[in-house]
Amino acid sequence: MGQKINPLGFRLGATQGHHSLWFAQPKNYSEDLQEDQKIRDCIKNYVQKNLKISSNVEGIARIEIQKRIDLIQVIIYMGFPKLLIEDRTRKIEELQFNVQKELNCVNRKLNIAITRIVNPYGHPNILAEFIAGQLKNRVSFRKAMKKAIELTEQAGTKGIQVQIAGRIDGKEIARVEWIREGRVPLQTIRAKIDYCSYAVRTIYGVLGIKIWIFVDEE
């Protein structure tokens, strides 16, 4: 049967870079990995707490972490950095303090920067959050998927595939529904494809959202 591989890992070194850049000895590797996860979770929780109620989208496309001996550099790519732009320095300092407390890193400096991305809906994470918000508000899943596809087409992508799995619309039997627009060449390594999988908790149970976006060909 068709074996599926994560499109990001499949393209590492060709069109895709790593989201964490650091070097560790084998015995410290797992600790560093968990530390990365802690940083990402801490940032996401902080952004969620300080969200305006109007939009459910956090707008974090990705979080990149670079580590040196005495410095941890974190770059947050955001689609809607409004949450952190009002009194920006104070918010970032508070976030830095939170993360440092979580990590209790004494001898390393933590540096957090926020970068704005141009077409937020061209990024699968932000799109998945948008769909998740719609599904939580009991919008029919087809409507949500079509709306998401419209938003990506405005962002100027070449193709998109959206898949939702689980108890869709609260039906007893779980199923998988998907929809594709444009072309999504998953086998072509040259093709730059952005991917994310996202779990959304609805009142019926957990739904899984997967999004593949074909950005362009190298």
pLDDT at 217 over 90: no
Quote the mean pLDDT of the chain. Answer: 88
E-strand stretches of the chain: 20-21, 60-67, 71-78, 109-116, 159-166, 175-182, 191-201, 206-217
61 within 8 A of 77, measured Cβ to Cβ: yes
CATH class of 118-215: alpha beta
100 within 8 A of 110, measured Cβ to Cβ: yes
- The tens digit of pLDDT for each residue in 166-180 reads 999 889 999 999 999
Q: How does strand 206-217 pair with strand 71-78? A: unpaired
Region(s) of the chain under CATH 3.30.300.20? 15-114
- The C-alpha angle with vertex 71 and arms to 17 and 194, in degrees rounded to 5, equals 20
CATH topology of domain 15-114: GMP Synthetase; Chain A, domain 3 (3.30.300)
- The tens digit of pLDDT for each residue in 133-177 reads 899 888 999 999 999 999 999 888 999 999 999 999 889 999 999
Contacts of 156 (CB under 8 A, 6+ apart): 119, 122
Region(s) of the chain under CATH 3.30.1140.32? 118-215
Q: Burial code of 79-98, b = ≥16 C-beta within 10 A, e = fewer?
A: bbbebbeeeeeebbeebeee
- The tens digit of pLDDT for each residue in 89-130 reads 788 888 888 888 888 777 888 998 888 888 888 999 999 999
Question: Taking the complete model, does pTM exceed 0.75, yes or no?
Answer: yes
Instruction: State mean pLDDT over 40-68.
Output: 81
